[in-house]
Structure 1
């Protein structure tokens, strides 16, 4: 998928196909951890999955090569494990501006289970890290996570809509402090998870060391100028 001279994408089919595959894989993962069919059916399904894997594996990019579908200038990361529409790991989370920060809602299925019927605590850390980074990006800042701490005030139930919020609390020089919360969407004032993160903008030599080998989808050397895990934020309030 190659942008035209105007910067637009003439053919949206590859992006739509990646999103379709991502959706199908998320459905498969959720069913795979809840199915009660006989072992023979499970084995037959596993063989079908292996066949699909073989079809997709005939052409692959390396880890240092950006996907053709990504656009770092706009924050589009199609395979991000939290917000990527093409990722089987992502819910995916749609992050939007919310007052002075950002917000998102998500309902997590059994694939995200830790304690029976509750979300795995590590998932809270993953989602908060992403949302805090998105809050930094929305404020015109960027950086990499230097410190992340969470207070778990109560378990997050599965299959209930959760409300996530984050905002920049402090910013000075290369460092910013960002706070975030997770609560039930229908009880937003009762905070179940509280997060605080310190994000630091790497010095130029560190950026070169970390990202100097990155190429675009054609193999051309293209290290990102503002590397970040933060993805696109919906500008609508």
Structure 2
């Protein structure tokens, strides 16, 4: 199997090789631990510099073979909405907590505990992270309802700060749909107090016209170099269907 191989084909898309996916997921988990340690460590400066050199050595090993931004990762499956490097829900992204988004009560729901790497005000989550997570949740709610689109408008009301190292509950559902436009709402609350909303979001998602889809994604290819424009413009990853 070459490094650009996409794995075996099925009627619904591509199934990635288990070992590359497991390796990418393991690397992401290790990097998340590194990031969290990097913002909480109190070791001496010499130790920090030594760690930085080790990180640079690891980066050199990974950088010897890279894909262009116009090429989808071999581990992705656009047909099913699987984006393993998505910065919110991607299991292989060190930036992602990651969120595991699932269907529930006519919408989607996720739980997450955020560490100090996501800090804004001391001991609380950065407000921009709330916007990032809500954008993903709203897009996933659209995808779960069979409504594909891209974020045209997103607004948030911050009713209270989100504490770090505390399990949070995120919800989203489609409120309205007409033609190419959908209105989707979402909330963030403490998992232990789901009735008290701390962040409330409302987004408008619009399905681009065909000429816009071509302009945005006409150069996108899969890992083998084959032209692969997304069937559903947007970045709503697949919703976990397990009970």
| Interval containing the TM-score (normalised by the shorter chain) | over 0.9
Gaps of 5+ in 2: none
Alignment of 1:150-165 (within 5 A): 150-165=156-171
Q: Deviations over 1:15-40 (max 9, x none)?
A: 00000000000000000000000000
Give 1:187's match in structure 2, choosing from 184, 193, 213: 193
Matched, 1:3 2:40: no
Call closer, same or farther: CA 1:26–1:149 in 2, change over 3 Å: same
Q: 1:5: Cα distance to partner?
A: 4.8
- Relative to the length of structure 2, the TM-score reads 0.95
Q: Conserved in 1, the CA contact under 8 Å of 2:207 and 2:233?
A: no
* Residue 24 of structure 2 is aligned to residue 18 of structure 1: yes
1:61 is the counterpart of 2:84: no
**Counterparts of 2:146 and 2:16, CA distance in 1:** 29
Gaps of 5+ in 1: none
Tell me the C-alpha RMSD between the 2 structures.
Answer: 1.2
Q: For residue 126 of structure 1, what is the aligned residue in structure 2?
A: 132
1:207 aligns with 2:213: yes
Q: In structure 2, what is the Cα distance between the partners aligned to 1:33 and 1:132?
A: 30
Q: How big is each residue's C-alpha offset from its partner over 1:46-97, in whole Å with a ceiling of 9 and x where there is no partner?
A: 0000000000000000111000000011111000000001101000000000
Question: How many positions carry a matched residue from both structures?
Answer: 237
Selected match of 2:178 from 154, 161, 172? 172
